[in-house]
Amino acid sequence: MTKSRESLEGVLPVDKPVGPTSHDIVAQARRALGERRIGHTGTLDPFASGLLLLCIGRATRIAEYLTDMSKSYRATMRFGATTDTDDATGSVVAESSAWQSLDDARIRAAFAAEAGVRPQRPPAYSARKVSGERAYRLARRGEEVELPEVEVEIHAIDVIGIALPDVTFHVRCSSGTYIRSIARDVADRLGTCGHLATLRRTAIGPHSVADALSVEQLGDPAAVAAALIAPAAALASFPRLSVDEDDARHLTHGRPVQCALPDAETVLVLHEDRLLAIGRAAGGRLEPNKVFV
Q: Are residues 211 and 243 in the same domain?
A: no
Please check whether residue 107 lies inside any domain of the structure: yes
- pLDDT value, residue 75: 98
Please check whether residue 280 lies inside any domain of the structure: yes
Of 216, 233, 250, which closes a domain? 233
Please check whether residue 125 lies inside any domain of the structure: yes
* Active site residues per annotation: 45
149-169 burial by CB neighbour count: b if 16+ within 10 A, else e? eeebbbeebebeeeeebebbb
Which range marks the domain in which residue 126 is found? Answer: 71-204
Q: Are residues 22 and 41 in the same domain?
A: yes
Q: Are residues 211 and 132 in the same domain?
A: no
Average per-residue pLDDT in the chain? 91
Q: Are residues 135 and 154 in the same domain?
A: yes
CATH number for the domain that contains residue 285: 2.30.130.60
- pLDDT value, residue 134: 63
Q: Are residues 23 and 168 in the same domain?
A: no
| Single pTM value for the model | 0.90
Whole-angstrom distance, CA of residue 12 vs CA of residue 130: 33
- When pLDDT is cut at 50, 70 and 90, the band that residue 3 belongs to is very low
- pLDDT value, residue 277: 96
126 vs 150, more confident: 150
Q: Are residues 39 and 107 in the same domain?
A: no
Q: What is the mean pLDDT of residues 233-243?
A: 95
Of 204, 221, 255, which closes a domain? 204
Q: Are residues 149 and 172 in the same domain?
A: yes
Whole-angstrom distance, CA of residue 1 vs CA of residue 8: 11
pLDDT tens string 23-66? 999 999 999 999 999 999 888 989 999 999 999 999 999 999 99
Please check whether residue 26 lies inside any domain of the structure: yes
Domains contained in the chain, number: 3
- pLDDT value, residue 42: 84
Please check whether residue 3 lies inside any domain of the structure: no
Q: Are residues 175 and 75 in the same domain?
A: yes
* Cβ neighbours for 201, distance < 8 A, ≥ 6 positions apart: 42, 44, 48, 49, 50, 51, 52, 71, 72, 73, 209
Please check whether residue 2 lies inside any domain of the structure: no
Q: Are residues 110 and 213 in the same domain?
A: no
Please check whether residue 1 lies inside any domain of the structure: no
